[in-house]
Chain A
Amino acid sequence: MNQSLRSWSLIAGSVLLLALTGCSTIGAKPWERARLARASMQLDDHAVEAGIDDHVYFSKEASSGGRGFGGGGCGCN
């Protein structure tokens, strides 16, 4: 694994550690989640649109994926 991805792993590990140790400043209580529950805050909102974007960029660039298992499935690249 290259250096930059090792750095990303470190970031992920740090966030995870903070989360799992129950850091009091991270997270939301159940009664604080109304804003998070709105459609505009959903990470997978507009997935069809995201899929179209992935397909277009995949056909023009050497990179794909990230959000999920992107790319593939066609001979456009």
Chain B
Amino acid sequence: MQLKPDEEKPAELPTLRRSLVAASCALLSATGAVHAENTDWQIDSALLYYQEGKGRVQAVEPVVSVKRDFGDEHVLGLKLTYDALTGGSPNGAIPSASPQTFAAPSGSSLTQNQQVQTYTTASGRTVRRLDTFSLYTATPGELPLDTSFKDQRVAIDGSWSQPLTDAVKLSFGGGFSKEHDWTAMNASVGLSRDFNAHNTTLSLGLSGEHDAIKPVGGAPIAMSDYTLFQKLRQESRSSTGGQIGLTQVMTPRWLLRLNMNYDQSTGYQNDPYKIFSLVNADGTVAGYRYENRPDSRVRESAYLESRIAFRADDVLTLSYRRLKDDWQIQSDTIDLKYHWALSDDRYLEPHVRWYRQSAADFYHLFWDATKPLPQFASADPRLAAFTAPTAGFKYAMTGPDGGEWSARLDYYFQTGKNVQKGPGVLAPLDLYPGVKSIMLQFGWRFGL
């Protein structure tokens, strides 16, 4: 049989094998994956600008990922990420027919008087603190946004992978992330094995993470009256997870990946900055309480990704993720990209993503003030039922040095589902305005 000659084939076979293994080892993907091609160092960098509508969160995030192949697929990866966030973040209270005044998290009083506050913690410890505060006011009908929201994060991730045999590969990873109110450390290990002449790769990964949470102003006592500002110093939580992955070459133009994920988290799950409104029968606000979530969460998800090649270098990538947790949240995510090769050195990539989720069983947009408080309650919009489409595109071009420049723009918007109507004076108000945002990203990757 006459085989069609392919000049690229000898050089690319190792790349394919690496990519199959790396794909299944994507559980270590925190460091990214710059292809180990013909250069020792591969640098992948990006700058993200993120902006939500109506004066909400704005973020700038530069990322640099470096990968070095020391030969024989012994690969070291490092990634450095920096986030700077500003803008207004919803505090969980609903819009009201009257002005609403809140204190920034660093504050501990809704009055204008500075005071020394003393209270006793659950463990019997007496806490004494001099209050400082800043206030913000939401006008009638306006979603209350904590305008003092400001954060910076630095994260560093590293990984090492190497083959143990011709078919077995071992990977390690670890990461450290630091914000002024949050410190996270994680580690992971993965093992993969090729079968069937490298057409099939099975992988197993385990991960663990520990978060130390030190909220601004302290972690509020769950379900406590917002005006009392009863806060503790800090909290923590830990999580462990596992993943079983299968990557399969279906045909010479079709790759399939399936991951099954399981993770559980125990400890402090609350958002320390979120409250919910207590509402009277006439729609007036009776008060606010700090939220309370269960102290554990178990999630299971399945992820399926398909890549099919068309024409010379076009690729259709379609993925679907199904997730379910024991907070009764279920979500579906469909992501579609088409890599459209305009020429040998330029491509356009239209992108569509569709997401929907059901609400957590303890999510309440607000709580009827005449009813006893539930054990758990949160008005965090991220736990609500909503749909969220994304649409955008990416344009990339390869320079004479082989490096790739790219620009990407995505538009994202959330729309609430089955949004509860407010009683009385709240009836005409939009209590769940959703969120709209743009993501603008510039990328540059190259080899040294």
Contact = CB atoms under 8 A, between A and B. Distances in A.
Interface of A: 1-2, 4-5, 8-9, 11-12, 15-16, 19-20, 22, 26-52, 55-57, 60-63, 65-69, 72-77
A38 B12 contact: yes
Contacts of A46: 44, 443
Interface string B245-257: 0111111110111
Contact of B324 (A5, A27, A31): A5
A33 B246 contact: no
Given A35-B253, A68-B28, A69-B241, A56 B439 contact: yes
Given A4-B324, A48-B32, A60 B382 contact: yes
Nearest to B250: A26
Given A61-B331, A61-B355, A69-B241, A19 B195 contact: yes
B204 interface: no
Interface in B52-67: 61, 63, 65
Interface residues of B, number: 117
A44 B33 contact: yes
A69 B207 contact: yes
Given A63-B329, A66-B261, A15 B33 contact: no
Nearest to A42: B19
A33 B271 CA distance: 49
A62 B382 contact: yes
A47 B441 contact: no
Determine the main DSSP class of A at the interface with B. loop
A49 B408 contact: yes
Given A27-B196, A52-B63, A63-B301, A43 B248 contact: no
B205 interface: yes
A27 B252 CA distance: 7
A15 B8 contact: no
Contacts of A30: 13, 197
A45 B443 CA distance: 13
A47 B288 CA distance: 42
Nearest to A66: B303
Given A28-B252, A47-B44, A63-B333, A68 B26 contact: yes
